Structure 1
Amino acid sequence: MTQTNPNFENKEGQKVPSVTFRTRQNDEWVNVTSDELFAGKTVVVFSLPGAFTPTCSSTHLPRYNELAATFKANGVDDIVCMSVNDTFVMNAWAADQESDNVTLIPDGNGEFTDGMGLLVDKKDLGFGKRSWRYSMLVKDGVVDKMFIEPDLPGDPFEVSDADTMLDYVAPGASKPSAVSLFTKPGCPFCVKAKALLTDKGYSFEEIVLGTSASLTSLKAISGRDTVPQVFIGGKHIGGSVELEAHLSA
């Protein structure tokens, strides 16, 4: 069933807007066109109100990044995050976030978002014109499916999430377990644990003692004071030796 919003036109079956995006790459200006992003490709797009904003940073972008390999395994060539922000803001956000598997595109003038009919006024927040939150599947430049958030106060986040899109793209696809590991600089066993996870195709969050966590946090969560300590799918696996045994099993 097609998800609709009475206040926004659903663009399924229509071509995406033809726009040239001004991006900054390696300290140089680089123009990126809609054709470069979408022609001959299957692309998932999710658009959000702003870089560095709470829901966008804590959930929306990280989950698409986490599921990127699963999307790719099911025929998606690229995942694009769109926001009405300039390229400097988007680049800084990319550096700050879990976004290695997502292409962040600055729709600085709001042209693409306006062409999608989803440019909204958020002057009450001091944001000016921004994108309504939505996601879509685009095939060779044509919108195949859209999930537009309902017209509710605030910033609803109910249908444009990565899991909803993946369920549409590949119903029943196996989703990767969330993986976190505590490490510290200069730890050879931590290096081994990360290599083991990488070799098995796991994406993981690294929590570095002294930077993003303390020894007290590690002891409180794992009951241990040595690193690495690995957690997969909410289960405490242990150190590198226990991780190797777990992955072998």
Structure 2
Amino acid sequence: MALQNREGEFVPNVSLKQRRGGELIDVETKDIFSGRTVAVFSLPGAYTPTCSSTHLPRYNELAEQLFANGVDEIVCLSVNDAFVMEAWGEHQEAENLSLLADGNGSFTEGMGMLVDKSDLGFGKRSWRYSMLVRDGKVEKMFIEPEKPGDPFEVSDADTMLDYLNPQASRPSFATVITKPGCPHCARAKQTLADHHIAYEDISIGNRDVTSRSLRAMTGRATTPQVWIDGQHIGGADELAEHFEKASA
């Protein structure tokens, strides 16, 4: 494939597409990169497994840390059309990211990252990579190794954050299982918000989660049940106690 590392070079000056407010608009790369620090991650395609489950979500999760360490904008780039990128962004809740469509592959080709994925029925697509661009010049590229399949080893958000600041902390993330109309659930979610912890709200009766599911996971049938970074905390009172102990 002969992928090309473009560190020290300027990014291609091309026009990309984006959907904003129901309108299809042109986005010039010079306007994105000039005088700014931009983290870019490029991937083979919207809605594909690794892109949807890991690559994009983690950049969204670590956005505040990346911004705090000097990044002005985080761009997700793919050789897809702007309509697909818009729909995928809404599906992924990628509120901290700018999803841009390189539908003709002109930017990707200029970066030396356009590859043939005809064996998967994709045609020409981007190889998976990320880069840090300062004032239009590529400072650092993280290019996935040239091997079969879709390797995902170095272009992740954590690697980018470590490059910017090896001592940077990671945000906590919570999962809350709730029940509609439950006042203790509302209290638990407010407690998490007060402590600036993002959370996923899974409601019983939705997404195939039932009271039996909750009992099987926790031994309890009461809501809410809260996990933080994979650790089961318990209900609203136990969540409050958790933060009280942490601040003691």
Normalising TM by the smaller chain, what interval? over 0.9
SS of alignment partner, residue 214 of structure 2? helix
CA distance in 2, matches of 1:184, 1:141: 49
**TM-score between both structures, scaled by the size of structure 1:** 0.92
* Gap regions ≥5 residues in structure 1: 1-5
Residues 1:205 and 2:200 aligned together: yes
Amino acid at match of 1:245: E
Q: Give 1:1-249 correspondences, 5 Å limit.
A: 7-212=2-207, 213-249=209-245
CA RMSD of aligned residues (A): 1.6
Give, in angstroms, the shift of residue 120 of structure 1: 0.6
* Gap regions ≥5 residues in structure 2: none
CA distance in 1, matches of 2:13, 2:210: 49
Give, in angstroms, the shift of residue 44 of structure 1: 0.9
CA distance in 2, matches of 1:181, 1:90: 29
Q: Which moved more, 1:150-159 or 1:18-27?
A: 18-27
Amino acid at match of 1:129: K
SS of alignment partner, residue 205 of structure 2? coil
SS of alignment partner, residue 130 of structure 1? strand
SS of alignment partner, residue 187 of structure 2? helix
Q: Which moved more, 1:144-153 or 1:228-237?
A: 228-237
CA distance in 2, matches of 1:37, 1:191: 40
CA distance in 2, matches of 1:65, 1:87: 19
CA distance in 2, matches of 1:208, 1:130: 38
Count of equivalent residues: 244
SS of alignment partner, residue 204 of structure 1? strand
CA distance in 1, matches of 2:186, 2:243: 16
Amino acid at match of 2:185: C
Task: Give the aligned partner of residue 3 of structure 1.
Answer: none
CA distance in 2, matches of 1:41, 1:199: 32
SS of alignment partner, residue 25 of structure 2? strand
Task: Assess, with a 3 A threshold, how the Cα gap between structure 1 residues 26 and 188 changes in structure 2: closer, same or farther.
Answer: farther
Give, in angstroms, the shift of residue 56 of structure 1: 0.6
**Deviation digits for residues 81-114 of structure 1, max 9, x if unmatched?**
1111111111111111141212111111111111
CA contact (8 A) 2:18 2:99 kept: no
CA contact (8 A) 2:62 2:170 kept: yes
SS of alignment partner, residue 75 of structure 1? coil
Task: Assess, with a 3 A threshold, how the Cα gap between structure 1 residues 106 and 214 changes in structure 2: closer, same or farther.
Answer: farther
CA contact (8 A) 1:193 1:240 kept: yes
Give, in angstroms, the shift of residue 188 of structure 1: 3.0
The percent of aligned pairs where both chains have the same amino acid is 60
